[in-house]
Amino acid sequence: MIFVFYAILSTLILAESTKNETTRDYCSLPDAIYADGVSAADFGATGWSYANADNWADLVVTCGGSFQSPIDIITSGTTQESIQPQINYKSKDAGVGYEEANKPYTKEYEGEYSEIDVTDASGSVYRYYAKQFHIHTPSEHTIDGKYFDLEIHFVHQAIQDEEQDCNKVKNKLTVFGLMFSEQPNAADYEAFKPWFDSNATGEVDSFDLNDFFSKMSDVTYYHYNGSLTTLPCSQTVNWVVFQQPLPISTAQLKQFQDFLSDSTLFPIKHNNRPIQHLNGRKILKGTAITAGVTEIPDVEASFAQTLFMAILMIILIQ
């Protein structure tokens, strides 16, 4: 009987140790063609920087494509979108942390977050997972010619599984662009503190991407097909840019700007790519549905509960 107990216990421990190990097959991005061996990692005085942003196409041919980002969103020329997608994160987990990535050209957190269904600019709905978010100051996109103090990009990548085929996903990435405007009395965002505060860990332990949308009274967005705004400028991005800026305190905005202190790489403390030509692309306008989606509960019994029941069964058998 003791042997049975240990067999059950070993099985439970193995199941618990592997339960949270999820391997996903992410849709791959196209390989970019670089000139003279320059790669996306070669940011600096001898590679690419924001000082030579107008000449990125000389380094990577993709950066000279017709569907580049960012763009100026002229609201009078947008078309009302027929499908109003839900911009809510499903199966969100407060225990999933984002680790700070070592990027010389931005501040970025990386770490798989949660699943989200997103309507592509073609009208099809695909599933993505949030992979990272990073900052640009001032904003990269403009709305009716207006720049904002800061823009955060939430980058999501599509997956290949039994329900979704990467070959049928036109845009392998969906990026949400959220604008921020300086307000001296605005409260600091806890999610940004690990980037700069010496007493922080460099990891966001408890973070819900829905929190940003919950602060918006207007969830109007603009939707178009575009590209990455850094090398390799891959034209495989489904862009969703929100109109209403969120507040950011003077102190936190200055922290972002001070990070871009090298004037040879960041002219006047900017890390935003210049506006690109629209080239006939259609810009759709919609209103996101952000209410009514809650955390999906974990209906599986906990390890402790399962172990207790196993021990109880063994005792009863004896």
The number of beta carbons lying within 10 Å of the beta carbon of residue 136 is 26
- The domain total for the chain is 2
Q: What is the pLDDT of residues 148-201, one digit of tens each?
A: 999 999 999 999 988 899 999 989 999 999 999 999 999 998 888 888 876 666
Residue 8 pLDDT level (bands cut at 50, 70, 90): very low
More confident residue, 64 or 296: 64
Per mean pLDDT, which range of 19-28, 165-174, 230-239, 263-272 is the poorest? 19-28
**Residue position matching structure tokens 């000139």:** 35
Residue 281: which CATH number? 3.10.200.10
Same domain flag for 313 and 174: no
**Interatomic CA distance for residues 197 and 250, integer angstroms:** 15
Same domain flag for 291 and 304: no
- Which pLDDT belongs to residue 264? 92
Q: Which residues pair with 224 in a beta bridge?
A: 239
**Interatomic CA distance for residues 164 and 44, integer angstroms:** 39
Same domain flag for 150 and 96: yes
Look up residue 270 and give its DSSP letter.
-
Q: What percent of the chain has pLDDT over 90?
A: 48
Domain encompassing residue 12: 1-19+300-318
Backbone phi and psi for residue 72, each to the nearest 5 degrees, phi listed first:
-90, 120
Per mean pLDDT, which range of 9-18, 49-58, 75-84, 127-136 is the poorest? 9-18
Nearest to 228 by CA among 82, 62, 16, 81: 62
The number of beta carbons lying within 10 Å of the beta carbon of residue 163 is 7
CB 224 within 8 A of CB 176: no
**Interatomic CA distance for residues 237 and 257, integer angstroms:** 26
- Which pLDDT belongs to residue 202? 64
- Amino acid (one-letter) located at 316: L
Residue 119 pLDDT level (bands cut at 50, 70, 90): confident
Residue 98 pLDDT level (bands cut at 50, 70, 90): confident
Same domain flag for 3 and 144: no
- What integer is the mean pLDDT of 211-224? 88
Question: Does an H or E element contain 177, and which?
Answer: strand 173-182
- What integer is the mean pLDDT of 243-247? 96
**Interatomic CA distance for residues 146 and 5, integer angstroms:** 68
Same domain flag for 105 and 144: yes
Same domain flag for 64 and 4: no
**Close Cβ partners of 263 (under 8 Å, ≥ 6 residues apart):** 269
Max mean pLDDT range (6-10, 205-209, 286-290)? 286-290
Same domain flag for 52 and 165: yes
Same domain flag for 309 and 189: no
- Which pLDDT belongs to residue 306? 34
**Interatomic CA distance for residues 244 and 261, integer angstroms:** 28
Same domain flag for 7 and 95: no
Same domain flag for 138 and 115: yes
**Interatomic CA distance for residues 298 and 300, integer angstroms:** 6
- Which pLDDT belongs to residue 248? 96
| Statement: residue 26 has pLDDT above 90 | yes
Same domain flag for 40 and 159: yes
10 Å CB burial of residue 299 (0-12, 13-18, 19+) is exposed
Residue 40 pLDDT level (bands cut at 50, 70, 90): low
| Statement: residue 305 has pLDDT above 60 | no
**Interatomic CA distance for residues 161 and 166, integer angstroms:** 8
- What integer is the mean pLDDT of 19-35? 76
| pTM of this prediction exceeds 0.85 | no
| Statement: residue 247 has pLDDT above 70 | yes
Q: What is the pLDDT of residues 80-91, one digit of tens each?
A: 887 766 777 765
Backbone phi and psi for residue 276, each to the nearest 5 degrees, phi listed first:
-105, 160
Same domain flag for 170 and 315: no
